[in-house]
Each structure stands twice: as C-alpha cells, then as structure tokens.
Amino acid sequence: MMTRDEIRELAAFQADETKGACALSFYFQPDPPQDRSHRREAIVAKDIVKQALKSAAASGKNGSLHADLDRVLDLATNLRGNARGKAVFACSAQNFWKEYELPPHLGGTQIYLQPQFQLKPLAALLGAQPALCVVMLDRQRARFFDLRLDVLLEHGAIVHMLSRSASSYGYNGYEAGHAERRVSEEALQHFKAVSERLRADLERGAWERLIVGCHDVNWPEFESHLHPYVKQRLIGRFSADVASVSNEEIRDHAGALLNQWITERASTKVSEALEFAKANGRGVAGLRRVLQALEGGEVQAIFLTENYSARAVECPHCGHLDAHLIASCVACGHRTRELADICDAIIPIAIQRNIELFYLKEHDGLDRAGNIAALLRFRSDQTTGQVAAAS
Ligand SMILES: [Zn+2]
C-alpha cells in the first residue's frame, strides 16, 4: 500500500540531468473484466516499453535508462492476467526503483521519461482520498479497517461476549427482565468502548473519515454514543452483518459511499471556490491566478477538469511558474524553460505541500473559468490584518 510519505518522496524526486539521468514512470492499466480473455493488456504494455527502448536508443540516452527499460519490459511481460493496475517509478542512475499495485483506474498503459516522475495518473486516482476508517459492528463485536486505494486492511477488533441472552431465561418474571437489562447495559458499554477507540484513533491521526457498517437496528443506538468530533467525520453508513460480511462486500459498500462523497465534495468545493473568486474572496480561477496563489502559499485545494493541460514556463533558477510564455523570469531574470503541460509542475507541488487536488469530470462553472481554480486559505493581497480561517 502506498503511503503519503512515499508519494511525497516521488513528487520530490529530481533526476540529475547533467549526468544524463532520467526518471521513468510506467503505468499499467489492465483490460476491463469483460475483455480479460483477450489478454491484449500485456501485449500493449510490452509494445509501449519496446517503443520507449527504441526512441531511447535513437536519442543516444545512456545505459542506465536502458537497464530500467529492460527491467520494466521484463515486468510487463509478466503482467498478463494481472487484474490490478501497476505503477513503476525508476531511475537506476540514482538507485531508485519502486513498484506499486494500484486500483485498475489509471486511464491507460503509459510510459514517461522525464526529469521528474509523472504523477498525473496517480494524482487523479488519489484525488482527495482521505485516510478512511471502516468500522463493522453489532452489539458485541466491532472490527476496524483501513480502506485506501481499494485495499482493505483490518487492524483490530473489540469483542464483548454478552451474558446469556434474556431469551434463554424465558420471558416471565423478574429474572428475564433483569437479564434483558444486563444485556442492554453490556451492549451500551460495548458501543461506548468502540466509540472511545474511534475517538482515540482520530486524535492520533490514524484516520480522517469514517464509514460504519452495521444492522439498521443497531445504528441509532451506536450513533448516539459517537463523539461529536467523530460524527463530523462520518461519510456514511451501510447495512451489513458483521459476523457474516465478506471483505469484498465491505470494500464494495464502503468504496461506493466514498466515491459518492468525493464527487459531491469536489462539486461543492469547486462551486465555493468559484463563488469566492467572483467576490474576490478565498478563491481564484484561471491558470494565471492559480499560479500566483500557489507561489504565495495561499492555496488549500486545486480543482482541475479531468483532461486539463496547458503550456507554461518555469524558471529553473528560482522555480517561478508563469502562464505567459515569456523568455526570461519576471522574478529573477534567468532564462525560463517551456513546460508542455503545467500539471507536471503543479501536481508535485500540491503533493508536497498537502494541497488537495480535485479532478472533476464535468463542471460547467469550472469549464467557463478556464478549467482550473483554487480554494485559498487566505488572500495575501487583502491586507485587512485578518486571515480567514480555512475550513
Ligand atoms: Zn526566476
């Protein structure tokens, strides 16, 4: 499983071009399940790597890139039948090789040879994925899971074995009533213990958002014990029986709730950013303004339409990014270099600075605003002395 620190490490990586080093990024997209019998995916992957080998040879690139490509070719040959996506980041000149299994939503099999790793497919996939906790429970059991990038990992359970159930005492007389009260008292203690663990885990940063799976009858009772902070982090709940539910069912239910939440949140936040932009508040629209805000350290979240791409220039000396294709840097006067796609510069910055990236499939407002916008933590050009709180 890929951690945020690993993604940050990828974003910070820079191949030493003076030594002819090159950062290789390879993404493997398996065929959709209904086409799996054709087995085209591995052939496509091999062709793409072979093509890259040819052009590397033609452009006289050095031996270390060749070695990386050979190794990726080997790997691609063995990808036949792989149902999951895969990403490889390599630069043997700098002793770097990382392989990751990913959900099969990478947009296509591709290879990139650049000074930095290509993180766009990864960023689109990660989107604004929170660290998600899924808790499955009933009146005596609770199981805790992490769900990240389609991978479900269990990390502990709480089990309170209830006393003999009320029914086993028969339904008449003091005994039965007493036993029933004891059972519900025990269930209450159990829900409190589960709720307490969730609070403690949230406080130590183990998760950011929560999904609960339980029987409908248990939900109101459990919900009433949730700490208010925990409740604010709740994405949703689904109905399931903790004793018999499979990991796949948990992943599917929770994944569906998560995707819906991400889509709705992206849409709400981008509308907010665009409204703020119109009112000269905590939002900006269009590449020029987004780059300015990024340089000012003001950005909290960036919104892009799915296939957004734009040319821009970068100053290799001070790092200034400019939407105008100017030959020399406005900040330090050095010669700029042209970027075929500004996203190659924006994405690593966003990942390193923990700026949320939202990719939107369709959004009329964002289309009209130049396909890129940002929500700001504050605005440095408004010197009211008051910094608006980021929400
Ligand atoms: Zn500069």
Q: Give the tens place of pLDDT for each residue, 181-203.
A: 777 888 899 999 999 999 999 99
Of 355, 382, 371, give the one whose Cα is nearest residue 279. Answer: 382
Distance 318 CA to ligand 1 centre (A): 4
Upper half-sphere CA count for residue 99 (Cβ side, 13 Å): 10
Distance 327 CA to ligand 1 centre (A): 11
Give the torsion sign (CA, 345, 347, 353, 356).
positive
* pTM higher than 0.85: no
Distance 346 CA to ligand 1 centre (A): 16
Distance 320 CA to ligand 1 centre (A): 5
CA-based Rg of the chain, rounded to a whole angstrom?
Answer: 26
CA-angle at 123, arms to 314 and 229, nearest 5°: 120
pLDDT digits (tens, 9 = 90+) for 60-86: 776 788 889 999 999 888 887 777 889
pLDDT of residue 369: 93
Distance 338 CA to ligand 1 centre (A): 13
pLDDT of residue 388: 45
Distance 323 CA to ligand 1 centre (A): 14
Distance 20 CA to ligand 1 centre (A): 24
Give the environment of ion ligand 1: residues with CB less than 5 A: 315, 317-318, 320, 329, 331-332, 334
- Give pLDDT < 70 ranges for the chain: 1, 35-38, 62, 127-128, 162-176, 382-391
- Listed in sequence order, the residues at least 6 apart from 85 whose beta carbon sits closer than 8 Å to its beta carbon are 27, 28, 29, 30, 101, 102, 103, 104, 105, 106
Distance 332 CA to ligand 1 centre (A): 4
d(CA 173, CA 166): 11
Beta 110-114 vs 96-102: how paired, if at all?
unpaired
Distance 111 CA to ligand 1 centre (A): 30
pLDDT of residue 7: 86
